[in-house]
Amino acid sequence: MAVLVGKKAPQFTAPAVVKGGDIVENFSLKQYLGKKYVVLFFYPADFTFVCPTELLAFQDKLKEFESRNVAVVGCSVDSHFSHWKWLQTEPKEGGIKGVKYPLVSDLSKTISENFDVLAGDYEYSEDGEIKYNGSPMAYRGLFLIDKEGVVRHQTVNDMPLGRSVSETLRMVDALQFFEENGEVCPADWHKGEKAMKATQKGVADYLAKRK
C-alpha cells in the first residue's frame, strides 16, 4: 500500500452529491487549493452497516471541522445516484439523511486505485480473461490534505473497523498548531496542551515535566 504522506494528493474530477441532494458532474478537490484543508475519507459502500455510523459521525462534527477551515469529503465506489438515494433515506432506515458534505462517486474505481485503498485488483487469467481478485470496494482510507494539496496524514482501516472522528480532529489540530507555532506535537497531544521544540533540549524539557 502506498504511503502518500508528504506527496501531492492525486487529483480527480468526478460526479458527486453536495449539500445533501444536489448532483454536480465535475467535482474536484482543486476548488480547495490555497483555501482550505481537506479530510478525504473512503468507505466501502452505501447502504451497508458500519458506513452510516461513520458518515453521520463526521456530520455530527462538521461544524468543528468547518471552524478549523477544513472541508470534509466522502468517497465510495457507488454511483452518485446511489449516494443521492442514501442521502434521502432516514437513519432509522439505514440511511444518512442530514449529511451535508460532498459524497464523491468513484464508479470507475480509479480514485480509490490512485489513493491505493482499493481492496483488490484485476488480473488476466491464462485464457486471457480479466478477473478481479479481492473486494471491488475501498478500504476505510482517510487522508488529511493541507492547503497546498499535500497529504500530511493518512490512515487505512480494514472494512469491519470504524474510524475515530475525534482522532481526525486531533490530527487537524496538531497540523495547524505546528504550522502556526513551529513546535511539534508529542504523543496524545490535544489542542490547548503544551507542545515541544524539535531539539534534544526541547524533548528533555518536555519529558522532565511528565515526571
**Looking at the annotation, which residues are catalytic?**
51
C-beta of residue 89 within 8 angstroms of C-beta of residue 95: yes
C-beta of residue 178 within 8 angstroms of C-beta of residue 185: yes
Rounding to the nearest 10 degrees, give the CA dihedral for residues 65, 66, 70, 71: 100
C-beta of residue 134 within 8 angstroms of C-beta of residue 37: no
Cα distance between residue 152 and residue 119, in whole Å: 23
Count of Cβ atoms closer than 10 Å to residue 52 Cβ: 19
